[in-house]
Structure 1
Amino acid sequence: MGVVQYGQLDEAEPAFGKWVRERRQSLALSQSDLVQRLASRGLLVDASAISRIESGARSVRLGEAIGIADALDSPLGAEFFTYKSPDSSALVEALSSIERALFRREEAIAADHDALRAIFKRQETAHQHLLAVTHAEEVITAALPSLSPTELELLNERLRSLRDIEEWQHIIELAVLPRDVG
């Protein structure tokens, strides 16, 4: 049995009547056939009453509704009618919109965390390089008095090359690292 939604309680009977007609026709039953099925279940309703029920012109007692649903091989349960207030669709859409916004916010926070982890990793790597350079400077400073003029010239050229590389690395880091917005 399909779910019938209605906005006002007084729409329940016309909705039920429409369902009766659609269900009866889907089973290829005439109104007289339905009357016979109802009679076999002890419910005495004539064909004109079925016609008025289907058109929504006649009220249906609960016992009749249960008997009609049973005669149409479909139990009448709470799942048949779903009360739908006029504003519920707007509320559902608003809640869905909030859920989508919260999901996008969580994604953005996760992306920010990933970006911060990458920045911290680059800073840690830069710190390790700085420690290595400091150690190398200490070793070179200790070895300077024992170097020949040729070795000193080679060392000087190498240091100029390293300074150029270091300058470019500094320029790249300034371009990549986020700036503080004051």
Structure 2
Amino acid sequence: MLLDTPICDFGWKAPNFTLQDPAGNSFTMSEQLGENGLLIMFICNHCPYVQRIADRLAEDTKQLMDEGINVLAVMSNDYRLVAQDSPENMQRFALQHGFAFPYLVDEDQSVGKQYKAICTPDFFGFNNQGELQYRGRLDDARMGDSALRVPELLHAMRQIATTGQGPKEQSPSMGCSIKWRD
């Protein structure tokens, strides 16, 4: 089911969390909130929207990380329901696409619920104060022409790093619904 994310709630404070990657390494959101901000992405392996952008996502996030913007990815799907999203498959997917950012398991789905994540991918861009400044898409293909892509996420995160504020105009992300446990 295709869903859109809501409009950015500018200034919303990021709830802190600690999650582990599939290898058991812990990451705490507040420790990742760097001088230039933090991008938190809700993604999963099986979503065709994420699959389509995975390589681009790896490239763009490497650029952001090189510019001092930290990045975390969270997988909130119930992987018992969708085996393709299991921690073992998360490791494979991350390796296959060259993810340099931590890809974290939201085992009890509490982080996805706290953030009111809607779909995969769902992007949350925070300034260095932990205030939401971007909730949009990776890029905006003008008139369906991939040659005319506008890298919205890159521009937004760079603006947040420089000014502390995100762009007023944002296009909602679109993707598959998060698979919540009953």
TM more than 0.5: no
Larger Rg: 1
RCO (CA 8 Å, sep 6+): is it higher in 1 or 2? 2
TM-score if structure 1 supplies the norm length? 0.21
Q: Which has the higher strand share?
A: 2
TM-score if structure 2 supplies the norm length? 0.21
